[in-house]
């Protein structure tokens, strides 16, 4: 669950940094009552002046004059999951762009976040595609790469396909253990792509994080502390095999993570299981799912069954 949040109006950054000198530092301070933009230059110019908030459409904003800048964010707002839903957060984001007293109800948190923003070169060096393929020339594999981001457009974009791509995105959203007995409160979810029921059937097709291997057999969500009904904000990116069978499925294992390790007691204790078969009537299953969670390990040959096939088995 997110601890705090803030917002950045990217078009203001683009327009402001484009009109300033090189190596400029922009400082964004959000107070309870209103947001204010100020500028602090690293050069000999010590004065400050406020940056006007401007609104422009995509057609009038240009990146040709954009110069490298450092953005400093100094204020955040605490996000309490029981009191601030995602829908409420979207409303606050809209209110931040105009004078409003709504932000007074939020609890500010003092912190500092610095972001270095610079335009991408026309031909970046040491580039990896969204599928982690090296773009030639790539003379030294030890150099820190530049990784392309795969866009998921709101509208269909019709372009010729030059590479084979078969990806699946998994976004665990929420879990309800409120009525379940036990002390499971620090909960994480392990996600695995399986081609059978044996634990060794987990496939190394999950994209790793920046500091990990390119592909992994499992991915974990962030641990939500002392919450029996947590919300998750993690995304798991999977490289689907070209050929799927009825045994391919996604296995979700729920763990309680102990804050203090006791003798002869593991830090992670499994507290539930569920899964999603990949195929239904020969077609890939996608969409939103509300799944029952089993107290015990799934039965034999479970991968070809729907997770709600035996209702008495579930909590």
* 99 vs 167 pLDDT, higher one: 167
Report residue 276's pLDDT band, with 50, 70 and 90 as the boundaries: very high
pLDDT at residue 57 in the model: 45
Q: Give pLDDT, residue 309.
A: 59
d(CA 233, CA 212): 20
Q: How confident is the model at residue 286 (pLDDT cuts 50, 70, 90)?
A: very high
**130: Cβ contacts below 8 Å, ≥ 6 apart:** 147, 148, 149, 150, 165
pLDDT of residue 124: 81
Q: Are 302 and 246 in contact (CB under 8 A)?
A: no
pLDDT digits (tens, 9 = 90+) for 99-141: 666 667 777 888 888 888 877 777 788 888 888 888 888 888 8
| 312: confidence class by pLDDT, cuts 50, 70, 90 | very low
Q: Tell me phi and psi for residue 91, to 5 degrees.
A: -65, -40
- State how far the Cα of 110 lies from the Cα of 227, in Å rounded to an integer: 25
**Which residues lie closer than 8 Å to 93 by C-beta, 6 or more apart?**
7
Q: What pLDDT score does 177 carry?
A: 87
Asked if residue 75 lies in contact with residue 31, where contact means CB atoms within 8 angstroms, the answer is yes
CA proximity to 84, closest of 114, 53, 105, 110: 105
Question: Structural domains in the chain?
Answer: 1-14+64-119 (no CATH), 122-151 (no CATH), 167-304 (2.60.40.150)
Task: Name the band, by pLDDT with cuts 50, 70 and 90, for residue 250.
Answer: very high
Is the predicted pLDDT of residue 12 greater than 60, yes or no? yes
Best CA proximity match to 221, nearest among 237, 205, 235:
235
Give the pLDDT confidence of 185-239 residue by residue, as tens digits. 889 999 999 999 999 999 999 999 877 888 999 999 988 788 888 888 899 999 9
pLDDT value for 59: 43
Could you tell me the pTM of the whole model? 0.72
Both tokens of residue 34?
């209103």
| CA-based nearest residue to 169, from 135, 204, 139, 193 | 193
Mean pLDDT of 164-173: 92
Adjacent-strand bridge partners of 114: 72
Range of lowest pLDDT (16-25, 42-51, 293-302): 42-51
- Ramachandran assignment for 260, one of left (phi > 0), alpha (psi -120 to 50 degrees), beta (any other): beta
Residue 75: predicted pLDDT: 79
Residue for token digits 């995509």? 58
**Structure confidence at residue 39 (pLDDT):** 35
């Amino acid at each position: 669950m997110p601890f705090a949040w803030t917002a950045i109006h990217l078009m203001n950054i683009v327009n402001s940094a484009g009109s300033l000198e090189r190596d400029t530092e922009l400082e964004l301070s959000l107070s309870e009552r209103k947001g204010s933009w100020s500028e602090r230059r690293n050069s000999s110019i010590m004065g400050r002046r406020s940056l006007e908030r401007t609104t422009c459409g995509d057609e009038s904003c240009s990146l040709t004059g954009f110069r490298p800048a450092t953005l400093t964010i100094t204020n955040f707002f605490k996000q309490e999951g029981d009191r601030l839903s995602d829908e409420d957060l979207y409303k606050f984001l809209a209110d931040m762009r105009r004078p409003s007293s709504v932000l007074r109800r939020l609890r500010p948190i003092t912190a500092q976040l610095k972001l270095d923003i610079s335009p991408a070169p026309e031909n970046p060096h040491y580039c990896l595609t969204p599928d982690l393929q090296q773009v030639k020339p790539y003379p030294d594999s030890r150099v820190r790469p530049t990784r392309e981001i795969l866009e998921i457009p709101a509208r269909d974009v019709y372009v010729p396909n030059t590479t084979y791509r078969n990806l699946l995105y998994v976004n665990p959203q929420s879990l309800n253990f409120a009525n379940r007995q036990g002390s499971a409160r620090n909960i994480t979810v392990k996600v695995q792509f399986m081609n059978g029921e044996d634990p060794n059937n987990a496939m190394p097709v999950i994209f790793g994080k920046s500091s990990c291997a390119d592909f992994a057999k499992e991915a974990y969500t962030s641990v939500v502390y002392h919450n029996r009904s947590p919300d998750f904000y993690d995304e798991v990116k999977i490289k689907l095999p070209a050929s799927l069978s009825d045994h391919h499925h996604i296995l979700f294992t729920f763990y309680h993570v102990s804050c203090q390790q006791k003798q002869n007691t593991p830090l992670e204790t499994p507290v539930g299981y569920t899964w999603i078969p990949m195929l239904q009537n020969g077609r890939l299953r996608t969409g939103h799912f509300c799944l029952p969670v089993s107290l015990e390990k799934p039965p034999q040959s479970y991968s070809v069954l729907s997770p709600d096939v035996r209702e008495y088995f579930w909590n």
